[in-house]
Amino acid sequence: MTPPDAADLVAALIPWYRRHRRDLPWRREVDPYRVLLSELMLQQTRVDTVVPYFERFVARWPDLASLAAADEEEVLREWSGLGYYSRARNLLRCARLVAEGGLPSTVSELRALPGIGPYTAGAVASIAYGVSAPLVDGNVERVLCRLDARSEDPRGAGRAPLWARATELHRAAGDEIHPGDLNQALMELGATVCTPRAPSCVRCPVAAGCRAHGQGDPLAYPRRAPRRRPTPVRGVAGLLWIDGGIVLGRRPAGLLGGLWEPVGAEHPGGVEPEAALVAAFATQVGVEIEIVSRLGVVVHTFTHRRLTTIVYEVRGSGAPTPKARYTEVRIVSDPESVPLSTLARRILAVGPQLGLPLAAEGS
């Protein structure tokens, strides 16, 4: 069975998309800023999770100029719970770089901006500006691998052929099909029909030409090399209340830079967790503590690490001051008022006096 013809795929896909596309807030008003914001939020995050964040974000900062004037801590606070906070920091950097002239329209210029890779650049260029720019995200990857029954790992040797196939589809679309519609149709198909574990081939507009469907085994594709297991890491965290507030530290940089968290640390084997926590408070915020009780355990997976954190209630003496790990320390009565990492929210949710809603896993 030969790979399906590109023109036939486009001819079947576009009418289907126009009939069945979801009503999403970033599709109601096509604007480069809204496209960029939605694409950054959607990276590694489900659509139903993103929608309320997107709506709150554009209500507060409706355009690049207003976002460019925003304080980073406020931006991170609005992002709190979405995870992968480098996306928010890069978005703010982009806004400050292009606030006056607006986002550029070419893929090469977009890729020169912080945090914008080939996929995001293709999305903004095609959807917002009508540029014929292919893109391959996880949904498109899955659709194309199944259509052609590709045997190569799409994250390795099969990556370049996928982009070539996406480019072929754009050439077949010609000038009559909006490039953004083609890209969104491929993404929509992967998100709603050609799903990872339960593809609905009976609803698929291109099933007749799909090689994986013809073989009777769409779940065999994409054929990826096994992911390596996350490295197990142990940690401790302490909830210290002072004058009705909880002690939080702010990290200066790195994965969780600019975000607030309860005081804690990773602890190596051979060290008792209580001793590791006592040392963390002394070296990080200059407070001598004693353990009151063990509150629970939080297991949180980063990309390559699985962190198991024991959470304690502690009491201490002395005024907290920022030391080794933190640039700032505060006693916060309302933790929702500061930007928290997802891990920090989950640790705080263990505290009986806080009752914060649990966030989904993410950085």
Do both 210 and 259 map to the same domain? no
Span 34-54, pLDDT tens digits:
999 999 999 988 999 999 999
Summary mean pLDDT of the chain: 91
Whether 205 is in a domain gets the answer: yes
Do both 293 and 151 map to the same domain? no
Model pLDDT, residue 6: 94
Do both 74 and 177 map to the same domain? yes
**Residues 345, 350: Cα–Cα separation, whole Å:** 9
pLDDT at 355 over 60: no
**Residues 322, 66: Cα–Cα separation, whole Å:** 32
Whether 100 is in a domain gets the answer: yes
Span 4-16, pLDDT tens digits:
799 999 999 999 9
Span 61-110, pLDDT tens digits:
999 999 999 999 999 999 988 888 889 999 999 999 999 889 999 999 99
Do both 271 and 133 map to the same domain? no
Residue that has been written with the tokens 């001598």 in this structure: 288
**Residues 124, 320: Cα–Cα separation, whole Å:** 45
Model pLDDT, residue 336: 87
Do both 80 and 185 map to the same domain? yes
Do both 300 and 214 map to the same domain? no
CATH number for the domain spanning 161: value is 1.10.340.30
Q: Taking a C-beta distance cutoff of 8 angstroms, is the pair 70, 37 a contact?
A: no
CA geometry: angle 300, 302, 304, nearest 5 deg: 125
Among the three residues 171, 194, 220, which one is the final residue of a domain in this structure? 220
Whether 360 is in a domain gets the answer: no
Whether 294 is in a domain gets the answer: yes
Among the three residues 174, 190, 220, which one is the final residue of a domain in this structure? 220
Calculate the alpha carbon distances from 328 to 92, 241, 248, 320, 322 in Å.
21, 17, 9, 10, 5
pLDDT at 323 over 50: yes
Highest mean pLDDT among 18-27, 217-226, 260-269, 294-303: 18-27
pLDDT at 360 over 50: no
Do both 18 and 130 map to the same domain? yes
CATH number for the domain spanning 283: value is 3.90.79.10
Among the three residues 181, 201, 220, which one is the final residue of a domain in this structure? 220
Whether 56 is in a domain gets the answer: yes
Average pLDDT over residues 173-199: 96
Whether 362 is in a domain gets the answer: no
Domain interval for residue 263: 231-349
| pLDDT confidence bin for 2, thresholds 50/70/90 | low
Model pLDDT, residue 1: 53
Do both 47 and 146 map to the same domain? yes
55 in catalytic set:
no
Do both 103 and 242 map to the same domain? no
| pLDDT confidence bin for 357, thresholds 50/70/90 | very low
Span 288-316, pLDDT tens digits:
999 999 999 999 988 788 999 999 999 99
Do both 33 and 174 map to the same domain? yes
Average pLDDT over residues 334-339: 89
Whether 1 is in a domain gets the answer: no
CA geometry: angle 95, 77, 56, nearest 5 deg: 70
Do both 263 and 307 map to the same domain? yes
| Identity at 339, one-letter amino acid code | P
Distance of alpha carbon 202 from the chain centroid = 31
Whether 138 is in a domain gets the answer: yes
Do both 191 and 240 map to the same domain? no
**Residues 256, 254: Cα–Cα separation, whole Å:** 6
Total number of domains in the chain: 2
Calculate the alpha carbon distances from 8 to 169, 173, 182 in Å.
10, 10, 13
- pTM (2 decimals)? 0.83
Model pLDDT, residue 272: 92
Model pLDDT, residue 358: 43
State the catalytic residue, choosing from 29, 39, 272, 313: 39
Model pLDDT, residue 285: 94
Q: Which residues touch 76 (CB under 8 Å, ≥6 apart)?
A: 85, 88, 89, 258, 259, 339
Span 236-282, pLDDT tens digits:
999 999 988 999 999 887 667 788 999 999 988 788 999 999 999 99
